[in-house]
């Protein structure tokens, strides 16, 4: 019997497929675990002293600032694309209204 050797990408694809199948089979159990984890996290957060909560918020703000600084160009580009997409959609809607108005006029034939 010949030995089949799989490439690295085939092995990764197989692994991803197995993980997807496992999570699909265990969806209810994973959701319950996630809810328990979130509930425990909320309870723990509520029991912490205010100075610890403030310190955590400060750390989080600093991490956000580091991320924004590191990915400034990416964030700027995404914001520009978002604005451009909205502008184009608005323009397309106006053009469609104008087209429908013109098409409803009687023809000169």
Task: Give domain status of residue 1, yes or no.
Answer: no
**Dist. CA 39–CA 45, nearest whole Å:** 10
Ordered DSSP codes for 24-78: HHTHHHHHHHHHHHHHHHHHHHHHS-HHHHHHHHHHHHHHHHHHHHHTHHHHHHH
Per-residue pLDDT of the chain (109 residues; tens, 9 = 90+): 778 888 999 999 999 999 999 999 999 999 999 999 999 988 888 788 999 999 999 999 999 999 999 999 999 999 999 999 999 999 999 999 999 988 998 877 6
100 and 58 share a domain? yes
Identify the domain containing residue 78 by its residue range. Answer: 49-108
Task: Give domain status of residue 79, yes or no.
Answer: yes
66 and 56 share a domain? yes
pLDDT at 33: 97
pLDDT at 63: 98
**Cα separations (Å) of 81 from 74, 75, 95?**
11, 10, 20
- Tracing tokens 């100075």 back to the chain, one arrives at 51
- Tracing tokens 């197989």 back to the chain, one arrives at 14
69 and 43 share a domain? no
pLDDT at 109: 62
Q: Count of domains in the chain?
A: 2
CA–centroid distance for 29 within its chain: 23
pLDDT at 2: 78
Check: CB of residue 30 under 8 Å from CB of residue 23: yes
Which pTM does this prediction carry?
0.50
């Amino acid at each position: 019997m010949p030995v089949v050797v799989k490439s690295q990408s085939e092995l990764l694809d197989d692994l991803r497929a197995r993980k997807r199948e496992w999570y699909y089979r265990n969806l209810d159990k994973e959701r319950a675990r996630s809810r328990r984890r979130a509930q425990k996290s909320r309870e723990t957060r509520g029991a912490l002293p205010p100075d610890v909560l403030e310190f955590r918020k400060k750390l989080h703000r600093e991490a956000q600032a580091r991320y924004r600084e590191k990915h400034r160009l990416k964030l700027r580009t995404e914001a520009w694309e978002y604005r451009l997409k909205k502008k184009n959609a608005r323009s397309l809607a106006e053009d469609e209204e104008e087209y429908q108005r013109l098409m409803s006029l009687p023809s000169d034939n």
